[in-house]
């Protein structure tokens, strides 16, 4: 087991810079999730840790070893890819055994490791099957088994669940969390799915265009996002953003003063679950319902303010409000986020950033 330490890591592809001086420590035994939109550099960063990409500048330590220039096989890491990359002509057992066999592991050791992995992943009934005769979830488990048998210091996952259907994805997510709990290994997990990031991570690293936007535990990013980018990325449905005019120290939206805000505020943010729905004529600001989506447990109301801004409001699951219905909204001061013109957060819940 080991910590992963990145110091000033940059990566160029020709003239294009994919990573900008990334410094970051993933603690021993931690589950870190790299999250961000497509093309922001998540895979490049993960592959750099694995040694599959040579970095242009900076250093990478795993445990107390400088592995910046070490070959992938010398880094004591195991990587699981989205594509599974199983050998189709080999059985599950042979797929897990292959890497150990070519590295001349003793047979008794190989058997023990395969038995352990098969038990952990509930693959025992399938050891003699070939990948073509497995479901998507089982194939992904074999790919994870191949990583487990290496007994690596660090597990690296690159969007391992994105080829699975929604139900299986949730199931595998829970299994991976259990795996982390049982193995207590350092894990670095890449996803573009903010729900996976929120639910699995000890620590989330939000990347944007090759730079770290913010690093922290999920609820810290949720409650105190450092920027509009993080505020909009973490949380589902996304935070509502409304343009603000500052007047007498108050944030004014549509002519309605919505409380004290920092002088440089140009935008206000509030999550759908924090807007309070009131009857027509009550609340701080009036709105008109455009769509009411009832999901069973929750309902999401899409509403429009007088000035034309739209926002999403989470309501009770049995809410049914037709298009055109008028409602009131309250924006509790303790739930407001204020943003500057450059996207920085100025305050969250009345506390300066
Ligand atoms: N082998 C490559 N050659 C050139 N550019 C690449 C290569 N791999 C990735 N990139 C570029 O680096 C950036 C980051 O890519 P990537 O790490 O794959 O993003 P993500 O995994 O977050 O979707 C993108 O702009 C991508 O086009
Ligand atoms: Mg990627």
In a domain, 241, yes or no: no
Q: Based on the fold, state whether residues 48 and 173 are members of the same structural domain.
A: yes
Distance 135 CA to ligand 2 centre (A): 23
Same domain, 129 and 67: yes
Q: DSSP assignment of 304-345, as one string?
A: EETTS-EEEEEEETT----TT-EEEEE--GGG-EEE-TTSBE
Residue nearest to atom 2 of ligand 1 (CA): 13
Local confidence pLDDT in tens for the 353 residues of the chain? 699 999 999 999 999 999 999 999 999 999 999 999 999 999 999 999 999 999 999 999 999 999 999 999 999 999 998 888 899 999 999 999 999 999 899 999 999 999 999 988 889 999 999 999 999 889 989 999 999 999 999 999 999 998 888 888 888 899 899 999 988 999 999 999 999 999 999 999 999 999 999 999 999 999 999 999 999 999 999 999 999 999 999 999 999 999 999 999 999 999 999 999 999 999 999 999 999 999 888 999 999 999 999 999 999 988 888 899 999 999 999 999 999 999 999 999 989 98
The reply to whether 273 and 141 lie within a common domain is no
Domain presence at residue 220: yes
Sheet holding 186-191, edge to edge: 77-80, 154-158, 186-191, 31-35, 203-208, 211-216
My answer on whether 284 and 170 are in the same domain is no
Q: Is residue 322 in a domain?
A: yes
Nearest CA owner, ligand 1 atom 14: 41
In short, whether 12's Cβ falls inside 6 Å of ligand 1 is no
Spatial CA neighbour of 45 closest among 69, 80, 18? 18
* 272 and 190 within one domain: no
Mutate to test the pocket of ligand 1, among 41, 45, 188 (most ligand atoms within 8 A of CB): 41
| Residue 137 domain-assigned (yes or no) | yes
Domain span at residue 33 reads 4-232
136 and 23 housed in the same domain:
yes
**CB neighbour burial string for 203-217, b if at least 16 within 10 angstroms, e if fewer:** bbbbbbebebbbbbe
Give dist(CA 13, CA 242) in Å, integer: 38
Cβ-proximal residues to 236 (8 Å cutoff; 6+ apart), any chain: 194, 195
For a mutational test of ligand 1's pocket, the pick from 11, 35, 38, 39, i.e. the residue with the most ligand atoms closer than 8 A to its C-beta, is: 39
Residues 217, 143, single domain; the answer is yes
Cα of 196 to ligand 2 centre, how many Å?
15
For the chain, the domain total comes to: 2
Residue with tokens 């303790």: 334
DSSP annotation of 73: G
160 in contact with ligand 1, CB cutoff 6 A: no
41 lines ligand 1 (CB under 6 A): yes
The answer to the question of residue 326 being in a domain is: yes
Examine the domain organization and report whether 224 and 267 are in the same domain: no
Residue 184, in any domain of the structure: yes
Burial of 100 (0-12, 13-18, 19+ CB in 10 A): buried
Does residue 251 belong to any structural domain of this protein?
A: no
Residue nearest to atom 12 of ligand 1 (CA): 18
Distance separating alpha carbons of residues 83 and 71, to the nearest angstrom? 22
Ligand 1 atom 20, closest CA? 39
The verdict on 198 and 325 lying in the same domain is: no
212 and 314 in a single domain? The answer is no
Does residue 194's CB lie within 6 angstroms of at least one atom of ligand 1?
A: no
Residue nearest to atom 27 of ligand 1 (CA): 39
Residue 174: CB partners within 8 Å, gap ≥ 6? none
Please report whether residue 44 resides in a domain: yes
Q: What sign for the dihedral angle of Cα 309, 310, 312, 318?
A: positive
Cα 316 to chain centroid, rounded: 27
Q: 169 and 21, same structural domain?
A: yes
């Amino acid at each position: 087991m080991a910590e992963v330490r990145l110091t000033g890591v940059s990566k160029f592809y020709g003239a294009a810079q994919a990573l900008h001086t990334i410094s970051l420590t993933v603690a021993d035994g931690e589950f870190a999730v790299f999250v961000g939109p497509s093309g922001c550099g998540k895979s490049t960063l993960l592959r750099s840790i694995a040694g599959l990409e040579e970095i242009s500048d900076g250093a990478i330590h795993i445990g107390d070893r400088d592995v910046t220039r070490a070959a992938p096989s010398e880094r004591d890491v195991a990587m699981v890819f989205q594509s599974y990359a199983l050998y189709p002509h080999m059985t599950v057992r042979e797929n897990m055994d292959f890497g150990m066999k070519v590295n001349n592991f003793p047979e008794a050791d190989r058997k023990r490791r395969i038995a352990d992995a098969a038990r952990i992943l509930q693959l025992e009934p399938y050891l003699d099957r070939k990948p073509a005769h497995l479901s998507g979830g089982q194939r992904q488990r074999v790919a994870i088994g191949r990583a487990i048998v290496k007994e690596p210091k660090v597990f690296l996952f690159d969007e391992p669940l994105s080829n699975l259907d929604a139900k299986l994805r949730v199931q595998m997510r829970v299994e991976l969390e259990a795996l982390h709990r049982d193995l207590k290994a350092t894990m670095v997990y890449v996803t573009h799915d903010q729900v996976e990031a929120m639910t699995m991570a000890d620590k989330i690293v939000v990347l944007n265009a090759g730079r770290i936007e913010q690093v922290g535990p999920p609820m810290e990013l949720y409650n105190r996002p450092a920027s509009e980018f993080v505020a909009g990325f973490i949380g589902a449905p996304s935070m509502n953003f409304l343009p603000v005019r500052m007047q007498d120290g108050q944030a004014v939206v549509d002519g309605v003063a919505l409380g004290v805000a920092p002088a440089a505020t140009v935008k206000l943010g509030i999550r759908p679950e924090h807007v309070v729905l009131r009857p027509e004529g009550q609340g701080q600001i009036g709105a008109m319902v455009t769509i009411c989506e009832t999901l069973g447990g929750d309902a999401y109301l899409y509403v429009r303010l007088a000035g034309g801004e739209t926002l999403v409001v989470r309501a009770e699951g049995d809410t049914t409000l037709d298009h055109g219905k008028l409602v009131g909204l309250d924006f509790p001061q303790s739930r407001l986020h204020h943003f500057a013109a450059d996207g920085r957060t100025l305050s969250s819940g009345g506390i300066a950033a």
